[in-house]
Amino acid sequence: MPSSVIQWFPGHMAKARRQMEENLKKVDFIIEIRDARMPFSSANPLIDELGKNKPRLVLLSKMDKADPETTKRWIEALENDSTSVMAVDLVKGGFKNKVSARSLALNKALIEKQKKRGIRPRPLRAMVAGIPNVGKSTFINSLAGRKAAMTGDRPGVTKSLQWVKASNELEVLDTPGVLWPKFDSQRSALVLAVLGSIKDDVVHMDDLAIFAADYLSKTMPERLKEVYKIEKIEETPWETLEAIARKRGWLQKGTVDENRTMRTFIQDIRSGKLGRITWEQPPHVSKEESEENSTTAEQAVSAHPEAAGKEGE
């Protein structure tokens, strides 16, 4: 268990919430970007709360770092009549036409309504939203074909609102990354921190490394043994990290350099040295059950957050 509860809600994020609330009236739908490695934990309840009556296009970013089969299952779980979901590689790009096509399809009723009134359909307006470090600014720049938004591999780069013309059919409103004020699930907080959506200076690196080593030891032990050339997975996460440190030479005067070990292990995860990893599994809800209960898979996860963290159990 972590040595302290992770809570992080900087003042500029409280301001961003107010700005989102004010500007939702100006948009037709929401483009929500989540991290494909953690589709549950990177979903922001504030977006559900503030934009519950708006159609939504969910983009699972960093698909190249997530397990592809699990990503497919997440797409199936999250899609419903008002939500379209697609996985994207924001670095490689090439998704602009697909995003435009999905946006048009998602807002078909609005477009038809305008045509029936004799109104020439105007460009669709979308709010781009998500938690920090999921790639919103990179997405905006790719759509605009220029550097329209600041980018950075750290949370909190975007600090203000700006409109960007993506095409003749689509205009987007960039918003700062927003995290909710309290983490109901400490597991989600740890996953967010491991993958860099929470600033390192507000978390304990020991907590992150031990949590990650425990999860990976249970779900992909062979991967750990192969990457770090260790013979076996030890009884505790710390002992496994200690074995990795000795194998890699992360020592100080003959003993394990704990600080270096914890930080390097987390950096290896973030840089992809351990391969494509998805840290959460979608809930198992059949199509018939979903239709009968009119309950989306996303709502099922929200009601039972423990379902999102049981891969390999």
**What is the average pLDDT value for the chain, to the nearest integer?**
82
Cα dihedral 286, 291, 294, 296 in deg (nearest 10): 40
* Angstrom distance (rounded) from CA 25 to CA 29: 10
User: How confident is the model at residue 156, as a pLDDT?
Assistant: 44
| pLDDT tens per residue across span 25-71 | 899 999 999 999 999 999 988 888 888 889 999 999 999 999 999 99
Give me the mean pLDDT over the 124-128 stretch. Answer: 94
Architecture of the domain defined by 11-174: 3-Layer(aba) Sandwich (3.40)
Identify the residue with better confidence: 111 or 287: 111
pTM: 0.80
| pLDDT tens per residue across span 174-213 | 876 666 655 668 899 899 999 988 888 888 999 999 999 9
User: How confident is the model at residue 133, as a pLDDT?
Assistant: 85
Q: Where are the domains of the chain?
A: 11-174
pLDDT at 20 over 70: yes
172 bridge partner residues = 126, 164
* Angstrom distance (rounded) from CA 37 to CA 67: 8
